[in-house]
Structure 1
Amino acid sequence: MRKLKLHMNLSLDAYVARPNGELDWMTWDEDDKLYEFINSLIDSSDTILLGRKMTDGFVNYWENVVNNKPASPEFSLAKKMVDTPKVVFTKTLDKSTWNNTTLAKGNLAEEIANLKKQNGKDIIVYGGAGFVSSLIKEGLIDEYHLFLNPTAIGNGMTIFKSLDRTQKFSVIQSRFYFCGITVLSCKPKND
């Protein structure tokens, strides 16, 4: 069965965005080793999951790199992000306006279970905060890859507030990168 993996940036105080979704606090000068790890996550997946609210920014950002910045160090990653099929979870849209995307409108747990049963590589989710909170609450994420940025922002959006119980994790690995980001990879313990 395919695994659902989360790739999410966090501040030191465990926020994933400022209150209005701003990401200006994130470390943007990733080093080559971190890019290798990010590429390995997307290479192990053949489906990207997104919440509706963040899809425009995500798709537009990566398409802009592919269409307008072929010399960018992000170009090969951007190409993967654009080429990988995306499933956008929404309750409000009836038609996808983005390239290479389909909509998922049903019960979250059932939709994820159906995706995990399909043949193929793993599935990766990038956000947004509300969507990821729903996945966490339902216990649907198999691996967490949390990119801890060396910044505290004091207030913002979190992904763990929906938990109504203590969730313990087993650490898969922890790596520090010279750009200042530490990646904590872990999986939920099912006690």
Structure 2
Amino acid sequence: MNKIKVLNRISIDGYFASTNEAAFGMDWFIHDPEVDQAAHAIGGKMNILILGGTTFRGFERYWLPVLHKPDAPSHLKEIAQELTDMTKIVFSKTINETEWDNTEIYYDNLIEVVRQLKRDASSDILVLGSGSIVQQLAEKELIDEYIFIVSPVVAGKGKPLFEHVKQFALTPLEARTFESGNVVLHYVVNK
């Protein structure tokens, strides 16, 4: 059976996004290409990505143009191409269409679709951002692994990743620190 892996940037106090919509909620993240590459390596090769509508729109606005920027750093172009090539499963009640290749839009049935993907997909499945989706999947115990990029910032407010979930235990698989102050933490969910 395929695994569901969640990859999220979070603050030390557990927020995955700020309340600054103009910055796509990412105004306090400390970006570091080395961290991005490490998190990518930990996550492994996956060809299916689950996103909520807000995260999808932010990714679409950021990553699609990167593909066509001649001066974009090569590691960003590589990520943009991988995201474009992946099957993107988007859950949204407001998105009807997109120009981003390989995107499927669902309006409901999150749990049913994810259970089917775990059974039948050709690879493990990655969830990026998408706090409400993470919370729903965690509540149904469908998440197998978490990869957190922890920025050395106390956000103080924002969108918490685990606002409405019951307690669950994790086993650490890996922890790496970086000169930027970021820490990448990889956990498996105890089931």
Normalised to the residue count of structure 1, the TM-score between the two structures is 0.88
Q: C-alpha displacement at 1:36, in angstroms?
A: 2.9
Give the conservation status (yes or no) of the 8 Å contact 1:39–1:77: no
**Which residue number corresponds to residue 57 of structure 1?**
58
Q: How far has the Cα of 1:97 moved from its partner?
A: 5.1
Q: How does 1:87-166 map to 2 (within 5 A)?
A: 87-96=89-98, 98-163=100-165, 165-166=166-167
- 1:9 and 2:12 are equivalent in the alignment: no
Q: Residues of 2 paired with 1:29 and 1:162: CA distance? A: 30
Q: Answer whether contact 1:96 1:102 (CA < 8 A) is retained.
A: no
| Structure 1, 55-64 or 16-25: larger mean CA deviation | 16-25
1:73-103 Cα distance to aligned partner (Å, 9 max, x none): 3111111111111000123445455432002
Aligned residues of 1:69 and 1:75 also touching (Cα < 8 A): no
Instruction: Report what 1:29 is aligned to.
Output: 32
Contact 2:88/2:102 (CA < 8 Å) preserved in 1?
A: yes
For 2:189, the equivalent position in structure 1 comes to 188
Runs of 4 or more, structure 1, over 6 Å off, are none
Which residue pairs with 2:18 in the alignment? 18
* RMSD (Å) for aligned C-alpha atoms: 1.9
State the 1:3 CA deviation: 0.6
CA contact (8 A) 1:30 1:179 kept: no
TM-score (norm 2): 0.88
- Contact in 1 for aligned 2:151/2:182 (Cα 8 Å): yes
Structure 2 portions without partners, runs of 5+: none
Q: How much identity, in percent, do the aligned residues show?
A: 28
Within 2, Cα distance between the matches of 1:96 and 1:138?
Answer: 29
Secondary structure, counterpart of 2:28 in structure 1:
coil
> How many aligned positions are there?
187
Cα contact 1:59–1:82 (8 A) shared by 2: no
